[in-house]
Each structure stands twice: as C-alpha cells, then as structure tokens.
Structure 1
C-alpha cells in the first residue's frame, strides 16, 4: 500500500537566502568602529556633515533614508573614513546584500548633509593698522623734510639769492622697512616653556571638532574650532588630542610645527609630551 503525500509536502520549501554572515553587517561594523574610536553620533555628524538621524539609521542597517543606492554608498564611504575603517570591504558587502554596483541616478547633491553657509571673509585689521601707522610716519617725515626746505628757501630769498634754474635734488624719504606678518608659530614658540608641554591648534583650512585632555584625563577643550580660530593648551606632563578633521588643522608642539600631511576628514588621535614634537 503506497502512502500518499501529505499536504505539507506540496508546500514550497522555506530555504533562507544565502548567508553573508561572515562578520558584522555594514551598519554594525560602522557602529563598532565609532565606539572604539571614542566618538559619539553627534561628533561623527559634525565632522562628516551627515545628519545624526541618517547616521543612526545606517548603523541600524536601514539605508532607506539615504535617498538611493548611490547616496547610501557615499554615506558609507564618508562614515568609514571618519571612524578609521577601510570603506572598500564595506562597500563590497553592501553591494552583495543590495544588488551589486550602483545604478546611475540624476545629478543631485550627493549627501543629505547640513548645508553650512560659507562665512564671510573677515577683514585683516592687523594689516590695516600697520598700513595706517606707516602712512602716518611717512606723512610726519614728509612734513619735517618739507618744513626744512621751506625755511632754507625763505632764508635764501631774504638774502637776495637768485633761484636755481635746475630742479632741486629731492631728498629721499625716510626708509621704512615693510611690516611683515609674524610667523604663525611665533606665538607658540614664545608660549612654550621648557618645563611644560605646549600644543597649539590652528584651524587654517576649515572647521574641525577638537577634544583635548591633560595627563589626568581631564577635558581641557571639547568643541568645534571654526575656520581661522586657534587654541593653545599646556600641561606639565602630557596632552592627548582627538581631531575630527585633522586635514583642516595646523599643529604646533612645543614651538615647532608638525608637518604630517593629514587628509581632509581624517580622524586622528594624538598624544604629546615635553620631549616632542613627535607624532603621538
């Protein structure tokens, strides 16, 4: 007697999709790297200009808020660099899980980031003051020289001397060396005592989030350094730094400039002592 098939045998077999669980997901990998770097979502958002809600969604492997496949890949690449990961393996995993390479999309802004208005260029009041001082000195010198010439001419006229037909020789104006701007490291050198470690940060090429701690781990500064601003820190033993965008910062340690070529958007964790400059 043959046994017929059970109704359950006619149901389609429930086989799961091929597993790519050979490591953490894209979002989980980004979240773990951010936590390991000691950064919050707000700090990553400030350094990458990717809005906080989008960062949260990507770390939860929700790419629907990115606005498309191309934008999602761009966000993954930017966030990976900000937390110190190689973006290529993450992009490959994303492609395997979401249908291969990105499809072309209309030309629109790549990232859904906050648009920050460019700040108006501030007037250089130091140069203006130097120019005004030079003009005043030149005017006073010219007045003194002109006054001496007028006295001589009056004396000659009183004595009945005939005026010379040739042009009088003009006296050279008092030489004035052009004012030169001090080297940006001058203030750092002057403020670098031998018994302390001195670190100066200058946001010459853009804005950057900065975290500075002393040798006891206490915060000396935690905030954003706007373009053109600078900060100087001193401690008796050691200063620890985290630079959210190291490529925007000029760094001076104990009066000497650190010449490392940090890339824009690169997060750097540095530590300096009295014996430096050396990269921490």
Structure 2
C-alpha cells in the first residue's frame, strides 16, 4: 500500500473558472483517489477521525466543530494528499462568510488585571539569611584559630613553593569550530535499541514515524537539510512521502536502497542489522 503524492506535487487551481471548479470535498476526494490512498490511510497519517474525513469529502463541515477547526482540517487533509491548501481555504471562506473578526484586545487585557494578594513575611528568605550568617561566623572562627596555630619558618630555611604549572599549549583550532558530522556518530547508537536517522538530502518530503506501540513520534514535512532521529526499544515504523529525497541511517548503517524520486515507501526497522519490513 502506498501513501500520498510527494508534498512537491501540489496542484493549485486558481486559474480554473469558478463554475468549473470542484467543491472542496470533491477536490480532496479526487486527490486522495489519484494518490491511491484510502480514507483510513489519510486518517492515520493526519490523525483526523475517519468520520470527519468522510464528512469533509461530502462537503459537510458541521462535524468539524466550527469554521476554525474546519479550516485546520482542510489544510491538514490537503497537504496529506498533495494539494495546495491555500485555494481550498479561500474557497471555504468565500462560501462560509470569510474569517471571523478578531476579538478586541482591551477586554482580554482587562481580564488579566488581578488584584495583588497580600503576602505574609518571607520566612524562607529569613532562614537562608540566618544560615548564611552562622556559616560565615563559623568560617571566620576557624580562620582565626588556624592563624594562631601556625609557626614561623626557621631562620635560614627557605619556604618551599610549588613550581608553577606549565602553560597549556594553544590549540591551532579555535574552540568554536564544530566537527564535521560523520557516519561514526550514528554507529555509537545503543545496541539494545533501534535508532533511525532520517535526513532530507535531495529535497523536501513528508514523513511519519511510529514506535512499536503505534505511538506517533513525528508526522510532518521535512525540509531539505533537516534531520530527525528516532529511537525505540523494539522497532521504528516509517512512511516516506518522497523516498527519493531521503537518506537513512539505521543502527549505525547507511541504507543504500535506491528509492525513486516521488515514491512512497513504508519501512520497518528493528534492532541489530537494518532489516526493512
């Protein structure tokens, strides 16, 4: 089963005539079918409930719980199926009366004005001050007693002094230099865990990562140059929206699979030698 188009495959329809433009739900449904995704796939990837996905594809936004939530769901579903969400949001605003007017700031600030409560004496600070005074008195007494117990150095005997420590040689490299990353940094991953590093080296890609319990570790867009590292005691499940843009390191090993640009890959890695499920 494959998941979605590449996030770069965004299909805005600003130039389509208004009367020929499909509805919001129809546009999302067509994009999902074109990406060979089921409603369950989209729900799993976006964490939007299946019933709400069905309702939005039928242009029923009531289950969203309000226009603000509806806009958020439209934006999330559009990105999951590879559509540009901006035209869909504009279409939603045009048919639902636009965005609500912002709430005036003055009442909010007035609600924040809370009468200061009267505080009692700060006994903690008083106790700290007393302890500091006692410690200082004890230290002063010990210092005076130490002076009285010292003896003078015998005539003719030179007091012994310790040799100064040799100067520390200056390094040729400045301290603010950062070492170049290497494959050995990942090789130090714990042997009793599975460690997966995902880097967007050749472009941007949507990725999803879950642990062995199915708990979502990350779900979003990885821009070019970004890196995410995931670790679990048993396994890591990955979904790569554009596998060709991704470089993987698993348990200290570079994965050299020849992923095609734009291909969607579902992968599972476990402890030890990398093993794709």
**TM bucket normalised to smaller:** 0.3 to 0.5
Q: What is the TM-score of this pair, normalised by structure 1?
A: 0.41
